[in-house]
């Protein structure tokens, strides 16, 4: 969007003013995230830049808050929990979601929009309602004594339910550009269903499946409301531990954890971006 040569002086002023406004908005978006990173190396237990830090004195920086995480039983436990629950719920969500997306992309499927609505609903219902409903239900499903609340299974199932819509949406989107003739070709050459699925369909939709899986993982990894209501002390995840930290005694350890999470999300973002590009290249779509 270069400035056109016929632009008048007023337009030129606006052009630069507009760029300035945009810069300010991008600043607003990104600075809150970036500001945490240097603060997590603060040698003092403060949440603000000390004068020493601003003068870049070496003693003003330290890794003590990172050491805090490593030495803290609770943080380590919650990191472990986050990965266990995240990976398990992603596996459930991805396998069920991919199968469903394959069905949803078939033209013959009856009542498609109703089914889609039901399958997407966990993404639409506000989390607080989901959490409340799951708390009631999982404490005594169908009035039985078989309580899933405060167990790993319960949290994993809940997170899997929250993650499936993302898998369904991304895989369905990938399947839009999928050439059905490839399945017919595979069948006509004598491949059975599983062979066709794993050798033909899967490699082509894999980018969609992986990005769906990443979405599902992030959903679980970042989720705190359901965990607040349903998980016991034993199942505390990283966000739950951060919540407790922010509510009770906010210590710079939280900033160190936050920095680690920012690194993780940057990596996830890069992966998703790579997958998207690969997918576009494979389908010959270029923007």
Partner 1 sequence: MAHAVEEAGPARPLTMADGTPLKVALARATRRSKIRAFLLVAPLLLFILVTFIFPIVDMLMRSVDNPEVNEAIPQTVAELENWDGEGLPQDAVFAAFIQEMGDRSEGQRRNIGRMGARLNYEDGGFRSLINKSQRAAAKIQDDPMQFALVGFDERWEDKATWPTLDALAETPEFAEVLPETAALLRKWETGNSPFAEKTPKPETYPTLLTELESAQADGSLDRLLPLVQAENEELAALLEKTATGAGEIRENPLRFALVGVDPDWGKPRTWTIIKQVSSPITFSYYLNAVDRTYDIEGNIVMQPEWKQIYVQLFMKTIYVSIGVTVACLILAYPISYLLATLPPSKGNLLLILVLLPFWTSLLVRTTSWIVLLQTQGVINDTLVFLGILSDDNRIEMIYNMTGTIIAMTHILLPFMVLPMYSVMKTISPSYMRAARSLGANPLIAFVRVYMPQTVPGIGAGSILVFILAIGYYITPALVGGQDGQLISNFIAYHMQKSLNWGLAAALGTILLAGVLVMYWLYDRLVGIDNMKLG
- Interface with partner 1 in residues 85-104 (CB under 8 A): 92, 96-97, 99-100, 102-104
Q: Which of residues 176-235 bind partner 1 (CB under 8 A)?
A: 211, 215, 218, 221-222, 224-225, 228-229
Task: Tell me phi and psi for residue 111, to 5 degrees.
Answer: 50, 45
Taking each helix axis as running N to C, give the angle between helix 73-104 and helix 152-176, from 0 to 180 degrees, rounded to the nearest 10.
40
Task: Tell me phi and psi for residue 224, to 5 degrees.
Answer: -130, -25
Question: Which CB sits closer to partner 1, 30 or 70?
Answer: 30
Query: To 10 degrees, the CA torsion angle through 18, 19, 24, 26?
Result: 120
Among 9, 55, 56, 124, binds partner 1 (CB under 8 A): 124
For residue 42, what are the β-bridge partners? 61
Q: What's the rounded Cα separation, in Å, for the pair 31 and 207? A: 31
Residue 110 binding partner 1, by CB under 8 A: yes
Residue 3 binding partner 1, by CB under 8 A: no
Binding mask 250-269 for partner 1 (x = CB under 8 A): x---xx--x--xx--xx-xx
The piece of 61-69, 180-188, 198-206, 247-255 that touches partner 1 (CB under 8 A) is 247-255
CB of 77 to partner 1, least distance (A): 17
The piece of 65-73, 110-118, 180-188, 198-206 that touches partner 1 (CB under 8 A) is 110-118
**How many C-beta atoms lie closer than 10 Å to residue 66's C-beta?**
17
Question: Which CB sits closer to partner 1, 63 or 109?
Answer: 109
Among 70, 121, 180, 203, binds partner 1 (CB under 8 A): 121
Among 43, 79, 88, 119, binds partner 1 (CB under 8 A): 119
User: Does residue 78 sit in helix, strand or coil?
Assistant: helix
What is the rounded radius of gyration, in angstroms, for the C-alpha atoms of the chain?
24
Element (H, E) at 280: helix 253-282
Name the DSSP class of 235.
G
Binding mask 140-169 for partner 1 (x = CB under 8 A): -xx--------------xx-xx--x-x-xx
Residue 18 binding partner 1, by CB under 8 A: yes
For residue 61, what are the β-bridge partners? 42
Among 62, 67, 76, 117, binds partner 1 (CB under 8 A): 117
**How many C-beta atoms lie closer than 10 Å to residue 169's C-beta?**
20
The piece of 66-74, 179-187, 199-207, 242-250 that touches partner 1 (CB under 8 A) is 242-250
Q: What's the rounded Cα separation, in Å, for the pair 212 and 272? A: 9
């Amino acid at each position: 969007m270069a400035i056109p040569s016929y632009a008048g002086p007023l337009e030129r002023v606006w052009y630069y003013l507009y760029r300035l406004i945009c810069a300010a908005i991008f600043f607003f978006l990104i600075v809150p995230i970036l500001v945490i990173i240097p603060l997590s190396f603060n040698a003092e237990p403060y949440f603000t830049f000390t004068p020493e830090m601003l003068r870049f004195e070496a003693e003003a920086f330290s890794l003590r808050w990172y050491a805090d995480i490593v030495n803290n039983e609770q943080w380590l436990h919650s990191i472990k929990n986050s990965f266990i629950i995240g990976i398990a719920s992603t596996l459930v969500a991805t396998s069920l979601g991919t199968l469903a997306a394959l069905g949803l992309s078939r033209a013959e499927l009856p009542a498609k929009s109703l089914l889609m609505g039901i399958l997407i609903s966990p993404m639409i219902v506000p989390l607080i309602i989901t959490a409340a409903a799951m708390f009631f239900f999982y404490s005594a499903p169908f009035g039985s004594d078989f309580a899933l609340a405060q167990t790993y299974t319960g949290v994993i199932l809940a997170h899997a339910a929250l993650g499936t819509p993302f898998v369904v949406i991304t895989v369905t989107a990938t399947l839009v550009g999928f050439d059905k003739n490839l399945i017919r070709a595979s069948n006509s050459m004598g491949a059975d269903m599983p062979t066709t699925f794993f050798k033909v369909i899967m490699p082509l939709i894999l980018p969609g499946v992986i990005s769906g899986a990443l979405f599902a993982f992030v959903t679980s990894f970042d989720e705190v409301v359901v965990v607040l209501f349903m998980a016991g002390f034993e199942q505390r995840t990283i966000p739950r531990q951060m919540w407790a930290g922010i509510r009770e005694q906010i210590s710079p350890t939280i900033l160190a954890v936050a920095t680690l999470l920012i690194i993780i999300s940057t990596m996830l973002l890069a992966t998703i971006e790579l997958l998207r590009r690969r997918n576009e290249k494979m389908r010959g779509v270029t923007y």
